[in-house]
Amino acid sequence: MEIQISSSAFENGGIIPQKYTCDGENISPPLSWKNLPSGTKSIAIINDDPDAPMGTWVHWVIYNIPATSNGLPENIKPVEKLPDGSLQGKNSWGKIGYGGPCPPSGVHRYFFKIYALDKMLDLKPGATKDELIKAMKGHILAEGQFYGKYSRKK
């Protein structure tokens, strides 16, 4: 079963508006999802760029999102713990929260991957993508993804 994840700010495969990038306000885009399987206890999202020259660049790690949630609003603040209990991890800049697209050259793809999990993860705030993937192992009920593209103007 695939979770459907999308953003009202751009279409799957479309251009990410500058507002959500390092050239704009550098805030997280709004996300929404549906088709979570029964038994989902928490949700995790990883946003990364596989086209980065030094290997995949992680832009956002957020986990322990309550299973009752059907989306995230625009501009999630860069704090370790959100009011609903969601926790944010470190991106490739070593910072908590979202860091928008900022490719050094060319067009890059930015994937938003969502995971429905059968438990709340025993991870402290500030976990890395690798730590999150390790903690999710054996607990993923379903997943889904969509992506946007971005290229900086010269």
pLDDT at 1: 73
pLDDT at 154: 64
Q: Which residues in the chain come in under a pLDDT of 70?
A: 154
pLDDT at 153: 79
Q: How many CA atoms lie within 13 A of 36 on its CB side?
A: 21
Q: What is the pTM of this model?
A: 0.97
Q: Could you give the domains of the chain?
A: 4-150 (3.90.280.10)
Helix, strand, coil fractions of the chain, as percent rounded to 5: 5, 35, 55
Question: CA torsion 13→19→25→31, rounded to 10°?
Answer: -50
Do 99 and 90 form a contact (C-beta atoms < 8 A)?
no
